[in-house]
Structure 1
């Protein structure tokens, strides 16, 4: 029997299919992934439960010299500040060693947090559908299957209103250099496009992590904001260190999107760090 081809990122039962695989990693990035695996094992030793790579590298869409490396590490206990510092140093070391990547990030959580009821439709979804296993037991085996519904939309990106004040503080404290502003433009562009996509997720009835496809999906339902989202998608892949872009996000697109999200899907359940 021929295996069914996923439609819009869904399997034959309408669940969101896991999007990445180590088999899809382009040969230029295979040394990066191998080094990440070894360095994570060395850093965390027996405290490590599992580790994952996510983003464009396991999707096979990474671009040499422009794509970052994104990792998630699950520990057997709650991470400490020393663990977070080690995770930052891990990325800095990879960035220095491999010119084919442009920075990156490591998410660090306990196994308990990732499997908690509170995180089932946020971090749990992230692990099960958007992360590719590198080390240890795959937590996806302990998580449910996911559909592109309003609950998933609310719990993944329904916290934009809470984030905007923090973003304003970050922008206000940044200097006007390209080095300071470019990462902020990339981060906020990607976050806003992904939030706009999950706003229409149940109606579009599918999943993609491609920013341009996300913007196009959103544009079908909010044509008056289509140009803004498509421009943000471009900046998510090729950011410019321009404070005017950040101001437009914080004064216009971000507040509008936060209000519309709350109206359509409600507000994400608070997390401990929101207290």
Structure 2
């Protein structure tokens, strides 16, 4: 079952662990823990988590970024976001082994809510590695690779496309296009994988593995998905790459996703 990212009972296994952090990134993780603890005391912070390639053990020095999720006792404020931005900058400046740091802020109540059960809740329970505080996964169910999970995690691609088009039009530098390209590439590959996830019957967050699996079901779009995967790892400043992802692969993928799994539920 492990080659499909599942536990023995067929539920999706948690994919990261602190003991999997590659040696070059241990000091980065230690510093992140210290910065978060210093900036967010126990009255604000419920718990903190790592996610992405660092806790999965696949991070590459100088290429990979550091990703954190903070669960707060209350909804994030402007002050919370300012403190998170300061931590991101401090980590990025201090550690050349990371190509940037990103911190998500969400209330614990929202992550545990019924409306977030198959999105934010799944993210915490299966894709996040505890770093500080009590683990919210203890209050969440086990998840399986179902159509419901596919729909609620990535069934909103069509809503993302107009935003990406506006960002692409506003991008004036190669740096702007690289930042957008990484985000678009990663989201596209993840959407492509979850499109085929229930048919394959497992879970992976690895971009290369996701791309390979997608290509087995949609060979006619495999090369475009390989471009998306490359953009997610080492984004190109070429506007034509973004144009292909946003105006060709993206609309096709959104339509196919809606036909196979439906559209993500909108919550107000």
Shift of 1:231: 2.0
Shift of 1:88: 1.6
Structure 1 residue ranges (4+ consecutive) displaced by more than 6 angstroms after TM superposition: none
- Stretches of structure 1 that go unaligned for 5 or more consecutive residues are none
Where do 1:192-231 residues align within 5 Å?
192-231=188-227
Which of these residues, 140, 149, 156, is aligned with residue 143 of structure 1?
140
Equivalent residues of 2:228, 2:245 under 8 A apart: no
Equivalent residues of 1:28, 1:100 under 8 A apart: yes
Shift of 1:207: 0.8
What CA distance in whole angstroms lies between the structure 2 residues aligned with 1:29 and 1:249?
A: 31
Which of these residues, 65, 75, 78, is aligned with residue 68 of structure 1?
65
Which of these residues, 100, 119, 123, is aligned with residue 120 of structure 2?
123
TM-score by length of 2: 0.97
Which of these residues, 81, 84, 87, is aligned with residue 90 of structure 1?
87
- Identify the residue that residue 111 of structure 1 maps to in structure 2: 108
Where do 1:1-275 residues align within 5 Å?
6-46=2-42, 47-175=44-172, 177-272=173-268
The C-alpha deviation readout for 1:43-76, integer Å capped at 9, x for no partner, is 1102110000000000111000000000000011
Shift of 1:240: 1.1
The C-alpha deviation readout for 1:190-236, integer Å capped at 9, x for no partner, is 11010000000000111111111101111111111011112211221
The C-alpha deviation readout for 1:130-177, integer Å capped at 9, x for no partner, is 0000000000000000000100000000000111111111111110x2
CA RMSD of aligned residues (A): 1.0
Equivalent residues of 1:72, 1:106 under 8 A apart: yes
What CA distance in whole angstroms lies between the structure 1 residues aligned with 2:159 and 2:181?
A: 19
Shift of 1:118: 0.5
Equivalent residues of 1:154, 1:267 under 8 A apart: yes
What CA distance in whole angstroms lies between the structure 2 residues aligned with 1:271 and 1:62?
A: 34
Per mean C-alpha deviation after superposition, the further-off stretch among 253-262 and 226-235 is 226-235
Equivalent residues of 1:154, 1:265 under 8 A apart: yes
Shift of 1:180: 1.2
- Stretches of structure 2 that go unaligned for 5 or more consecutive residues are none
TM-score by length of 1: 0.95
What CA distance in whole angstroms lies between the structure 2 residues aligned with 1:143 and 1:49?
A: 15
What CA distance in whole angstroms lies between the structure 2 residues aligned with 1:171 and 1:158?
A: 22
The count of residues paired between Structure 1 and Structure 2 equals 267
Shift of 1:104: 2.3
